[in-house]
Amino acid sequence: GSTIGIIGGGQLGRMAALAAARLGYRVHIFTPETDSPAAQVSDAATIARYDDQDAIERFVCSVDVVTFEFENIPAESVRHMAEHVPVRPCWSVLEVAQDRINEKRFFNSIGIETAPWRAVGSLDELKTAIGEIGRPAVLKTARLGYDGKGQVRIGPDTDPAEAWAALGKGLDQAGQGVLEGFIDFLGEISVIVARGHDGEWAAFDPVWNVHRDHILDTTTVPAPIAPSLIGQAMDIAHRAAEALGVVGLLAVEMFVTPNGLLANEMAPRPHNSGHWTMDACVTDQFEQFIRAVCGLPLGTPERHSDAEMKNLIGADAEHWLDILKDPSARLHLYGKAEARPGRKMGHVNRIRPRSGQ
């Protein structure tokens, strides 16, 4: 059998590894973390920093294909891997998805609308950008932000100097940030699309995402949006995956506004807003990911049930025994020992027979 190398040791890698095992593959995880959720369920693990070129060399010699559950790995590491083994999706996709400036420029270049935005590299540029975009706005680090980390809201009275200083800690070496106009959205949706080597593609239904404390809280499908938006959302995700030449998955987060959809960000990997597929679809996002990366035919993304996914964050997971008593609930725990606040410990999918939509 073949071995799939997965960069990243989190829960996305864990669930991908479980799907891979079901299809008869071996999985080798690369992560700096000892006892990671993904390594716990995999055949092998290399524990090293993402920039450890020697460890990467040994890793790629032991796998047949490499993919990611975490996209913030250094360019040099990806280049090194690609010399030895197919890397899917390829570096150019990660390069766009790692950086909010590249990402927004990319969306706009293929006619996908975003919030108005400006790249800002200094306090002076921030002041100019606030003048152009207006308030309220959101200042974000270009790189490495997640779960709302690396973001500062610019309200009517926010002092730009304070906002710039607050962001400073999370800024990358280049010191780049992005100022975005604040969108008073009706809601947030996302679409996960799979794309194979030959351009074959399949999208899961758009889902409705509600965040709590900047972290995804629930995902509901069907999304309560106009039918016309469902097709538009799938089209946006497909066009983006096609233009990037993704082989694997692409998740695109969007804001629903009275004037239509705006793309927020994307991730070239399985996504938290796709966990519902594990219990409500014929082929779930993790199996679809493995199929795409390994060059297998894609499965049908058809949804046989309506679903609500709830993330179990920090102490939420303490109630897991009660969740087991709910006949509509399917519990997924990630094997993390320590329930730190804000940490994703697991999720629960509640499913019901599919409604009309």
Is the CB of 84 or the CB of 105 nearer to ligand ATP? 105
| Candidate ranges 175-183, 284-292, 296-304, 337-345; the one touching ligand ATP (CB under 6 A) | 175-183
Cross-strand partners of 142: none
Three-point CA angle 207, 213, 216, nearest 5°: 25
265 is in an annotated binding site: yes
| Structure-block tokens of residue 109 | 């270049």
Residues 84-123 that bind ligand ATP (CB under 6 A): 115
Query: Which pair of structure tokens corresponds to residue 307?
Result: 């679903």
Residue placing its CB nearer to ligand ATP in the complex, 110 or 146: 146
How many residues bind to ligand ATP according to rule CB under 6 A? Answer: 16
What residues form DSSP beta bridges with 330? 349
Q: Which is nearer to ligand ATP, 103 or 279 (CB)?
A: 103
Tell whether omega for the bond before 136 is within 30 degrees of 0, i.e. cis.
yes
Q: To which residue do tokens 């002092």 refer? A: 159
Minimal distance, residue 189 CB to ligand ATP, in Å: 11
Cβ proximity to ligand ATP, 86 vs 116, nearer residue: 116
Residues 177-216 that bind ligand ATP (CB under 6 A): 180, 182-183, 188, 211, 214
Supply the minimum distance, in Å, between the C-beta of residue 22 and Mg ion: 28
Residues of this chain, 262-321, that bind ligand ATP according to CB under 6 A? 264-265
* Contact status: 147 vs ligand ATP (CB under 6 A): yes
CA atoms within 13 A on the CB side of 67: 28
Rounded-to-integer distance, Cα 27 and Cα 42, Å:
5
Phi, psi of 50 (to 5 degrees): -70, -10
Provide, rounded to whole angstroms, the least separation between the CB of residue 227 and Mg ion: 25
In terms of CB distance, is 60 or 96 closer to Mg ion? 96
DSSP assignment letter at 337: S
Closest approach of Mg ion to the CB of residue 265, in Å: 5
State which H helix or E strand residue 262 sits in.
Answer: strand 260-267
At how many degrees (to 10) do helices 160-168 and 123-133 cross? 120
Residues 236-265 that bind Mg ion (CB under 5 A): 253, 265
Residue placing its CB nearer to ligand ATP in the complex, 72 or 232: 72
Residue 215's SS3 state is: strand
Alpha carbon distance 129, 120 (integer Å): 7
Closest CA to 64 of 99, 26, 91: 26
Give the footprint of Mg ion on residues 126-155 (CB under 5 A).
146
Query: Mapping DSSP to helix (H, G, I), strand (E, B) and coil, where does residue 118 land?
Result: strand
95 is in an annotated binding site: no
Please state the residue numbers annotated as binding site for ATP: 100, 140, 145-151, 180-183, 188, 211, 264-265
Please state the residue numbers annotated as binding site: 100, 140, 145-151, 180-183, 188, 211, 264-265
Residues that bind ligand ATP (CB under 6 A): 115, 138, 145-149, 180, 182-183, 188, 211, 214, 253, 264-265
Residues that bind Mg ion (CB under 5 A): 146, 253, 265
